[in-house]
Amino acid sequence: AEEVHAVIIVGAGMSGISAANKLSKAGIENILILEATNRIGGRIQKTNFAGLSVEIGASWVEGVGGPRLNPIWDMVNRLKLTTFYSNYDNISSNAYKQKGGLYEKSEAQKAFYAAQELSELIKNVSKYLKAHRQDDISILASQRLKNQVPSTPLDMAIDYIAYDYEFSEPPRVTSLKNSIPLHTFSKFGEDAYFVADSKGYESVVYFVAKQFLTTNESGEITDPRLLLNKVVNEISYSKNGVTVQTEDGSVYRAEYIMVSASIGVLQSGLINFKPDLPPWKILAMYQFDMAVYTKIFLKFPDKFWPTGNGTEFFFYAHEKRGYYTIWQQLEEEYPGANVLLVTVTDDESRRIEQQPDSDTKAEIMGVLRAMFGMNISEATDILVPRWWSDKFYRGSYSNWPIGVSRLEYDRIRAPVGRVYFTGEHTSEYFNGYVHGAYLAGVDSAKMLIRCVKHGDCCYSIPPKGS
Ligand code: FAD
């Protein structure tokens, strides 16, 4: 029990597994991965819903078709996972009014064009702020600057689809400089593919894991270096090493530790650091946002919505911004299953997590009746994931809020002595995404490898404003 590992990795999501893989390949093989839940994959998770395999966490590979190959897209193709190109081109034909009925196509199209023009204008504001080294502003402030704050139900819904549906927080909160344009789209491409495969999107995590963890003949991971159901609740660190305690009373020792738990978990105090992390670290960590994105699946006895080309995405324009706005009919993904997906975020997510699913279903049926008429059939099944209430996640993914500079962001990633950090929230350019988690794991591992193998344990943060 007195074994001293080279590195302990906290968490077996994409970033922890990616870091461990990189360390192993560099010859640092005496590692130990401690994962709180009974599985690997973290926020990439499939579940059974009315006999179908659905993704309650990440579902898209975002950033496809651009100048560089997204490493996750590469894995998804090697694994031959079934994916569907998400086509939003025709969404203006699928805009439902609050009291029912579709908007005239011309009216909705006009609103989309205006939103598109506004998004070009604010992109230029962002470029201007960067070029002139001006402070950051919110996306909303940049819209205000152009005298165009979306405020009708239709304009708000289109605005919600453009920003909240991506960042899970409203434009009032989200940083303009760090979100527009987004590295994911400019580096990897504008396209997004929806994964719907019974093998699960989490196969990409297994794909990386099996590059370094031993498996049995059936392909199950049996490597003793991965321990599940191990909730880390204390990390003691000094210049000589680290000691980790788990909720079940076990103690593990290592030369170094790498923590991959979400920024929401770090903010929650689930893991007690001894001594406390330094103020520069704490202040940076608590300024970043853990956003909430909730994918609600519903199953019906029959279909009362349009199917076929150009119908996959539709939306509901309500006076309350973000009230069951964005819908997806999954006829192509799950033929004949009569499944709809509606997505909510932020305050609506937190509200819905705290009420019984029967209340949520009643609200949703109200919205659907407004859209499709009073005679539609009642949903037979509903699935409401609760990422925010889950103490091992505390939300869905990080969002870059106004007020956090590059300096503070780099401090979130920076090691503290022998304590290293990874996770999507530490990705240099792609926070919030699966590829961000993967690349963050690689980068954090490289940092640790430099330290272990070359004695270069110095991490310098560029000065503020650079
Ligand atoms: P995690 O997956 O959270 O891994 C951290 C691990 O640490 C977890 O397994 C957790 O159980 C464990 N852990 C936590 N606390 C402890 C502890 N105290 N002790 C031990 N272990 C602990 N990305 C996309 O690219 N496309 C999408 O479409 C997309 N949609 C999303 C939708 C939802 C609803 C959610 C939740 C996420 C979505 N994401 C999407 C984001 C993507 O899933 C994440 O960025 C990525 O999976 C995060 O990986 P990670 O390794 O950083 O964190």
Give 279-300 as a DSSP string.
Answer: HHHHHHHHHSEEE-EEEEEEE-
Domain range annotation of the chain:
4-43+201-288+400-454, 91-193
Look up the ipTM and state it.
Answer: 1.00
CATH 3.50.50.60 fits 4-43+201-288+400-454, yes or no: yes
91-193: CATH number: 3.90.660.10
> How confident is the model over 353-390, as pLDDT tens digits?
999 999 999 999 999 999 999 999 999 999 999 999 99
How far, in Å, CA of 299 to CA of 226, rounded?
37
pLDDT at 192: 98
Count CB atoms within 10 A of the CB of residue 82.
13
Torsions phi, psi for 439 (to 5 deg): -70, -35
Q: 254 with 267: CB under 8 angstroms?
A: no
Residue among 397, 425, 429 whose CB has most ligand 1 atoms within 8 A, to mutate: 397
SS3 label, residue 53: strand
Nearest-CA residue for ligand 1 atom 33 is: 57
Nearest-CA residue for ligand 1 atom 12 is: 11
How far, in Å, CA of 103 to CA of 101, rounded?
7
> How confident is the model over 115-164, as pLDDT tens digits?
999 999 999 999 999 999 999 999 999 999 999 999 999 999 999 999 99
Residue 211 CA from chain centroid, whole number: 24
Ligand 1 environment, Cβ below 6 A = 10-16, 34-37, 42-44, 57-60, 62, 231-232, 260-262, 265, 270-271, 293, 295, 387, 392-393, 396-397, 423-424, 432-434, 436-437
Verdict on whether the full-model pTM lies above 0.95:
yes
pLDDT band at 462 (very low <50, low <70, confident <90, very high): low
Query: How is residue 13 written in tokens?
Result: 């999501």
Is the pLDDT score of 288 beyond 90? yes
Q: Do 4-43+201-288+400-454 and 91-193 fold alike per CATH?
A: no
Nearest-CA residue for ligand 1 atom 34 is: 57
Torsions phi, psi for 185 (to 5 deg): -80, -40
How far, in Å, CA of 18 to CA of 8, rounded?
14
CA 231 to ligand 1: nearest atom? 19
pLDDT at 74: 98
pLDDT at 1: 53
How far, in Å, CA of 246 to CA of 83, rounded?
38
How far, in Å, CA of 160 to CA of 169, rounded?
9
Nearest-CA residue for ligand 1 atom 6 is: 11
Q: 178 with 405: CB under 8 angstroms?
A: no
**Average model confidence (pLDDT) for the chain?**
97
> How confident is the model over 399-431, as pLDDT tens digits?
999 989 999 999 999 999 999 999 999 999 999
How far, in Å, CA of 54 to CA of 337, rounded?
12
CA distances from 328 to 27, 87, 160, 316 (A): 46, 11, 15, 11
> How confident is the model over 174-186, as pLDDT tens digits?
999 999 999 999 9
Q: What positions carry a catalytic annotation?
A: 62
pLDDT at 120: 98
Query: How is residue 441 written in tokens?
Result: 């794991």
pLDDT at 464: 60
> How confident is the model over 26-46, as pLDDT tens digits?
999 999 999 999 999 999 999
pLDDT band at 463 (very low <50, low <70, confident <90, very high): low
> How confident is the model over 290-310, as pLDDT tens digits?
999 999 999 999 999 999 999
CA distances from 66 to 69, 86, 123, 187, 270 (A): 7, 16, 19, 6, 39
> How confident is the model over 206-262, as pLDDT tens digits?
999 999 999 999 999 999 999 999 999 999 999 999 999 999 999 999 999 999 999
Query: How far away, in angstroms, is 55 Cα from ligand 1 center?
Result: 13
